Amino acid sequence: DAGRAGNGNLVGYSSTKGGVMGFTKALAQEVGPAGIRVNSVSPGSVRAPMRDQVLKDIEDRLGEEGVEEREAKRMAQVPLRRIAEPDDIARPVLFFASELARHVTGQVLSVNGGFRMY
């Protein structure tokens, strides 16, 4: 959800994610009359190589205890109390691609375990 909330440590990343959100909405308006749906998923923290690198960078600055403390605080703020797995992101994408979402367009779905609610 860096595009909605921003992240001072990842300014470029947050900016591009905000761009994806605007692109989703604008393109949905442009191609909707042709019956084309445009939606996007805005994930929170996902167990993936990029997250591993971020944690390594934090560990380099704060040590292993700093990472553990940061992760414990973060999980306390996530109502579902876990980091997303790649499959947690794939499932909403499959929904958007299916006929179940045939009347859904221009939407940005946050998939973050409830960490941020918009």
Catalytic residues: 13
Residue 29's identity, in one-letter code, is Q
User: CA 53, 59, 65 angle in degrees (round to 5)?
Assistant: 135
- Give the distance, in angstroms, between the CA of residue 4 and the centroid of all CA atoms in the same chain: 9
Provide the pairing of β-strand 40-43 with 108-111. Answer: parallel
Query: Residue 8 has which token pair?
Result: 């001072």
